[in-house]
A and B are shown apart, each in its own frame.
Chain A
């Protein structure tokens, strides 16, 4: 049973109107547990729409989406959180700026559960959060009572990524998570994603425009072109491709 199963997905925006656009023509894709899929493609080729359809913030016009065998085609995003964690392109989207780091991590830790009228933050939880944040090596574990909005974009993205594994996660969706980050922060975030993918065996999908990252990370490479999958390379065939070759694809 595949973790993500997309069958004959078609997505049309503004159907019937003057600004109608077909973001995804015909996409069928099977992704197994623990795979790290890197998605590249020109702007408008359908990459973000694909991630949104997996995450539930968009519904396909045609076709079906299955997660771990369950049909989730019409399930909205806040219900897909049961399996899916996301890191957005904008570092400000993944965390609530006026809430403390600790509060943000608490919400992440109960992502798959009901938010009850009980106080969940206790000494044990604080300890867990501090220990996890310490692994980043950014010194943020001493600031867990500070509002998260006071941190830089790179720090917030790294924390968003850490938050994604505070609760059980089957699928991690990363939509250009390093687009707004400086090279050093970008590397921290990507290495962290790689580490989480290996350690927790989370099926990971990463959209990136950075071809160097596409070559360096991931077990599978998919190129989108005009709403369809043009190339799908795994393992050895992915490793074979040189950076120069990939530039020719565009």
Chain B
């Protein structure tokens, strides 16, 4: 039983960067960025290709983040310069990335058997499982500090304001287009990092691993929102930590459904219903209060 929960924690840590990326795009755009499905797989496919060509895992990390950021820039340019809806721009880039990923991998799946991955560089524990957890946790903590710092800078505040009130930002000397493109670049760099981590954790990269992953990120961010309303509304640092907590609770819920024996084929349906419940919770509780 506990195996499920350790797996949940590990997966949650690997997917936290992606959840943080969704958090950024929801602050910048107020919508979840569908590019995620593509940039996640891009991170994974690049990782698999480079590692099987004997690149060191540490060198592969910045490449995956850079690739993710380029995908985000594409979405940003399509949205701001061609005036196409941000959601549609994300879908277009995600669709294009499907082919890009197939070309990068040369096939639909690359296994990472007997390949030294990021986790094997460190030996905090002899047990692989705990070693992976610690490495992932340290990386996520580093990212939390980085993102917290970024969103507190003058540029970070400008980015948050762009999504919140574009009228105001135009009148305050902020180029909304540039801000959105940079925000998308950063968000998808984070997502690419998640692809990098998950492919090394699960031992393979697969062309379909990104399908629907944006919902996981969205669910994590929404859980974080609910938590924020229960606890006191904290500053931006607290919000980021809650996103990681949301990622964990999300994976926990999925692990629970598997533990009670639900058919793994139903996992995506369970995911969708779970996210639906989280979204419906605030509205439903208002209805109950009224009645």
Chain A residues proximal to chain B, CB less than 8 Å: 55, 57, 77-79, 81-82, 84-86, 88, 92-99, 103-104, 106-108, 110-113, 115-121, 147
Interface: B175 (CB within 8 A): yes
Separation of A57 and B169 alpha carbons in the complex (Å):
12
CB contact between B165 and one of A82, A93, A111 (< 8 Å): that residue: A93
Residues on B with C-beta less than 8 A from A95 are 165, 168
Of the listed stretches B42-50, B154-162, B280-288, name the one at the interface; the rest are far from the partner chain: B154-162
Residues on B with C-beta less than 8 A from A99 are 157, 160-161, 164
Separation of A96 and B162 alpha carbons in the complex (Å):
9
Count residues of chain B with CB under 8 A from any CB of chain A. Answer: 24
- Chosen A-B contacts, 18 in total, with CB atoms closer than 8 Å, are A78-B172, A78-B174, A81-B171, A81-B172, A93-B165, A93-B167, A93-B168, A94-B171, A96-B160, A99-B157, A103-B157, A107-B168, A107-B174, A111-B173, A115-B158, A116-B153, A117-B154, A121-B152
A93-B167, A98-B160, A107-B169 known; 9 new pairs, CB 8 Å cut-off, are A81-B170, A88-B171, A92-B165, A93-B165, A96-B161, A96-B169, A106-B157, A119-B152, A120-B154
Residues on A with C-beta less than 8 A from B160 are 96, 98-99, 103
Residues on A with C-beta less than 8 A from B153 are 116-120
CB contact between B173 and one of A57, A79, A94, A118 (< 8 Å): that residue: A79
Separation of A54 and B165 alpha carbons in the complex (Å):
21
CB contact between B154 and one of A82, A92, A106, A112 (< 8 Å): that residue: A106
CB contact between B155 and one of A93, A98, A103, A116 (< 8 Å): that residue: A116
Interface: B124 (CB within 8 A): no
Separation of A128 and B151 alpha carbons in the complex (Å):
22
Interface: B125 (CB within 8 A): no
Residues on B with C-beta less than 8 A from A96 are 160-161, 164-165, 168-169
Residues on A with C-beta less than 8 A from B130 are none
Interface: B145 (CB within 8 A): no
CB of A205 to closest CB in B, whole Å = 14
In the complex, the answer to whether B168 meets A117 with C-beta atoms within 8 Å is no
Interface: B267 (CB within 8 A): no
Residues on B with C-beta less than 8 A from A98 are 160, 164
Separation of A24 and B153 alpha carbons in the complex (Å):
42
CB of B43 to closest CB in A, whole Å = 24
Interface: B176 (CB within 8 A): yes
Residues on B with C-beta less than 8 A from A82 are 173
Which B127-182 residues sit within 8 Å CB-CB of chain A? 149-150, 152-158, 160-161, 164-165, 167-176
CB of B145 to closest CB in A, whole Å = 13
CB of B156 to closest CB in A, whole Å = 8
